[in-house]
Amino acid sequence: MKLLSARTGLLITLILLFVLGLAAFAMQYFDSAPAWVEHPSNRHFYTDGKLSNLGTIYDRGGKALLQMSDGGIKYNEDPAIRTALMHVTGDRDGNVETSISSVFKSDLMGWNWLNGAYRFNSEQPTGGTDLTLTLDAGLCAAAYRELRGRRGAVGVYNYQTGELICMTSSPSFDPVFPPDLTGESGDYEGVYLNRLFSAAYTPGSVFKLVTTAAALEQLPDIDKRRFRCNGEMEVEGNMVTCPAAHGELTLGEALAHSCNTSFARIALELGAEKLQEYAERVGFNSAQKVDGIHTIPGRVELAHAGKAGLAWAGIGQFTNTANPLNFMSLVGAIGNRGLAVAPNIVARRGFLPAASAGAKKRLLSENTAEALAKMMRNNTIAVYGESNFKGLELCAKSGTAEVGEGKKPHSWFAGFLDRSDYPLAFVVIIEGGGSGSGSAAAVASAVLHRAVK
Ligand SMILES: [Zn+2]
């Protein structure tokens, strides 16, 4: 009996050691496999230390954006496309963490966890998987040009399918001829950041869409209410001001003229808890994932805001920040009658359609979304000027976000086209761009007109 239990004990110990060893191996494998596989000494992939046979990244029209040729990386021949899409292809040294070549490196090189290095048939050398993106390279280049060297980002996507057709971030540079990025001018500060995915800015008045959504659902008879604006309003010794006295306004008029005192009033009436709840419902305080690329979340934190903080938060100031991609998804959901379709960027991996396309989530009720859409359409007609957006059926909201004394405000413009042939939503952010209905709206107009051609 004693002998048996000693043997059992030994056996159990051995089994435990085996399992532990297996777990340790698995952990190390998952932790280090990319480093082992992608090490330049691996002759499956490297010839004389240079990558060979990498897959190619194409845009939606079949333009090659990045490919391997004779052991070297080859970019698109057009410098405007190379520059506009540097954050998508990545630079030569792999500094852009959210680039397709970084995030999909194993696909492009042709290995996975299960099969290791693979090939499609024994005749071929190990070959990477080609990736076809949803992006239109020409449209991205046009968007970058429209930013005219100003810092910021542009995003356009199809709010029914989730396809991201335009994305660009500035500053950028031509990865074939990289400039001196460390220069004292600071022109290239944060150049590796894709500002659509990885930045969060004070939203200013575009945030009034969130406050309006909450008001529509939480304040009874809000559509029959009238707000009185005499140009300023005191909240606990803090002055909330409008550029001028707006007089008597409906909710729709308050949104169109971006009346700060009306929205400060609405925020106070809603209370911190409700405004917080709606902000989180539409994506604040959580990161999005676009085909495995994580975004930086925008923030709304009202727990200790106090009354003045809450009033300012309702008009998109206080400590609020918004991530441009998330905001684009929000206006896309309004265009899609409350149903948010997750943005995606990879259309095909090799011969297969990408798995992640089009995940849907109800963000707002259909009624709320339709009421918001109507107001955003009225914004264009009443304030932004239908002639600037001819034929687009534009529904939009501008934002001019104050970022501190002596600094030029950030310029935002976000919205969607109410068109069944071009169900597109967009966001434009220009750092220090001034008025949203001025500079960001002009960029949006040029990019959207080109998108529907
Ligand atoms: Zn006002």
SS (H, E, C) the chain: CHHHHHHHHHHHHHHHHHHHHHHHHHHHHHHHHHHHHCCCCCCCCEECCEECCCCCEECCCCCEEEEEECCEEEECCCHHHHHHCHHHHCCCCCCCCCCHHHHCHHHHHCEECCCEECCCCCCCCCCCCCEEECCCHHHHHHHHHHHCCCCEEEEEEECCCCEEEEEEEECCCCCCCCCCCCCCCCCCCCCCCCHHHHCCECCHHHHHHHHHHHHHHHCCCHHHCCEEECCEEEECCEEEECCCCCEEECHHHHHHCCCHHHHHHHHHHHCHHHHHHHHHHCCCCCCCEECCEECCCCCCCCCCCHHHHHHHHHCCCCCCCECHHHHHHHHHHHHCCCEEECCECEEEECCEECCCCCCEEECCCHHHHHHHHHHHHHHHHHHHCHHHHCCCCEEEEEEEECCCCCCCCEEEEEEEECCCCCCEEEEEEECCCCCHHHHHHHHHHHHHHHHCC
> How far are the Cα atoms of 30, 31, 103, 106 from residue 26, in angstroms, in the given order?
6, 8, 22, 18
Report the separation in Å between the CA atom of 269 and the middle of ligand 1, taken as the mean of its atom positions.
17
- Integer Cα distance of 429 and 213 in angstroms: 22
Report the separation in Å between the CA atom of 435 and the middle of ligand 1, taken as the mean of its atom positions.
16
Backbone angles phi and psi of 65, in degrees to 5: -95, -35
Whole-number pLDDT of residue 48: 57
Whole-number pLDDT of residue 351: 72
The single-letter code of the amino acid at 382 is A
Report the separation in Å between the CA atom of 26 and the middle of ligand 1, taken as the mean of its atom positions.
61
Which residue, among 368, 218, 238, has the nearest Cα to 312 in the 3D structure?
238
Bridge pairing between strands 293-294 and 50-51: unpaired
Instruction: State percent of the chain over pLDDT 70.
Output: 89
CATH superfamily of this structure's domain 46-133: Penicillin-binding protein 2a (Domain 2) (3.90.1310.10)
- Integer Cα distance of 357 and 341 in angstroms: 9
Report the separation in Å between the CA atom of 230 and the middle of ligand 1, taken as the mean of its atom positions.
7
Report the separation in Å between the CA atom of 175 and the middle of ligand 1, taken as the mean of its atom positions.
47
Contact 109, 45 (CB under 8 A): yes
Whole-number pLDDT of residue 113: 57
Report the separation in Å between the CA atom of 251 and the middle of ligand 1, taken as the mean of its atom positions.
11
Query: What are the pLDDT digits (tens) for 70-83?
Result: 567 899 999 999 99
Whole-number pLDDT of residue 54: 75
Map tokens 């086209």 to a residue: 417
State CA 401 to chain mean position distance: 18
Whole-number pLDDT of residue 356: 60
Whole-number pLDDT of residue 406: 92
Can you tell me the mean pLDDT for 211-215?
98
- Integer Cα distance of 25 and 20 in angstroms: 9
Report the separation in Å between the CA atom of 245 and the middle of ligand 1, taken as the mean of its atom positions.
5
Q: Is residue 212's pLDDT more than 80?
A: yes
**Which of the listed ranges 96-110, 116-130, 395-409 does the model predict with the highest average pLDDT?**
395-409
Residues 6+ apart with CB under 8 A from 171: 149, 151, 187, 188, 189, 190, 191
Q: Is residue 117's pLDDT more than 80?
A: no
Report the separation in Å between the CA atom of 241 and the middle of ligand 1, taken as the mean of its atom positions.
7
Report the separation in Å between the CA atom of 366 and the middle of ligand 1, taken as the mean of its atom positions.
29
The structure tokens listed for 416 are 């969607």
Can you tell me the mean pLDDT for 348-370?
85
Angle between helices 208-218 and 272-281 (to 10 degrees): 110
| Global pTM value | 0.88
Report the separation in Å between the CA atom of 399 and the middle of ligand 1, taken as the mean of its atom positions.
15
Of 46-60, 170-184, 418-432, give the lowest mean pLDDT range: 46-60
Report the separation in Å between the CA atom of 250 and the middle of ligand 1, taken as the mean of its atom positions.
11
Report the separation in Å between the CA atom of 232 and the middle of ligand 1, taken as the mean of its atom positions.
7
Angle between helices 306-314 and 260-270 (to 10 degrees): 120
Q: Is residue 358's pLDDT more than 80?
A: no
Report the separation in Å between the CA atom of 163 and the middle of ligand 1, taken as the mean of its atom positions.
38
Computed over its alpha carbons, how large is the radius of gyration of the chain?
26
Contact 256, 338 (CB under 8 A): no
Report the separation in Å between the CA atom of 243 and the middle of ligand 1, taken as the mean of its atom positions.
7
Average confidence score pLDDT of the chain: 91
Can you tell me the mean pLDDT for 125-140?
87
Report the separation in Å between the CA atom of 246 and the middle of ligand 1, taken as the mean of its atom positions.
4
Angle between helices 441-451 and 137-147 (to 10 degrees): 160
Contact 379, 396 (CB under 8 A): yes
Report the separation in Å between the CA atom of 406 and the middle of ligand 1, taken as the mean of its atom positions.
23
Report the separation in Å between the CA atom of 43 and the middle of ligand 1, taken as the mean of its atom positions.
68
Report the separation in Å between the CA atom of 155 and the middle of ligand 1, taken as the mean of its atom positions.
30
- Integer Cα distance of 66 and 132 in angstroms: 11
Q: Is residue 400's pLDDT more than 70?
A: yes
Residues in the chain: 453
Report the separation in Å between the CA atom of 307 and the middle of ligand 1, taken as the mean of its atom positions.
19
Report the separation in Å between the CA atom of 248 and the middle of ligand 1, taken as the mean of its atom positions.
9
Report the separation in Å between the CA atom of 377 and the middle of ligand 1, taken as the mean of its atom positions.
20
Which residue, among 364, 294, 377, has the nearest Cα to 336 in the 3D structure?
364
The structure tokens listed for 229 are 């604006």
Report the separation in Å between the CA atom of 37 and the middle of ligand 1, taken as the mean of its atom positions.
61
Report the separation in Å between the CA atom of 262 and the middle of ligand 1, taken as the mean of its atom positions.
6
Q: Spell out the domain ranges in the chain.
A: 46-133, 140-345+356-451
Report the separation in Å between the CA atom of 99 and the middle of ligand 1, taken as the mean of its atom positions.
43
> Residue 61: CA atoms inside 13 Å, Cβ hemisphere, count?
8
Whole-number pLDDT of residue 51: 55
Rounded to the nearest 10°, the torsion over CA 369, 370, 371, 374 is 120
Which residue, among 339, 246, 247, 326, has the nearest Cα to 289 in the 3D structure?
326
- Integer Cα distance of 13 and 7 in angstroms: 10
Report the separation in Å between the CA atom of 252 and the middle of ligand 1, taken as the mean of its atom positions.
13
Whole-number pLDDT of residue 66: 94
Report the separation in Å between the CA atom of 183 and the middle of ligand 1, taken as the mean of its atom positions.
44
Report the separation in Å between the CA atom of 125 and the middle of ligand 1, taken as the mean of its atom positions.
67
User: Please, which pLDDT band fits residue 253 given cuts at 50, 70 and 90?
Assistant: very high
Report the separation in Å between the CA atom of 259 and the middle of ligand 1, taken as the mean of its atom positions.
4
- The CATH code of domain 140-345+356-451 reads 3.40.710.10
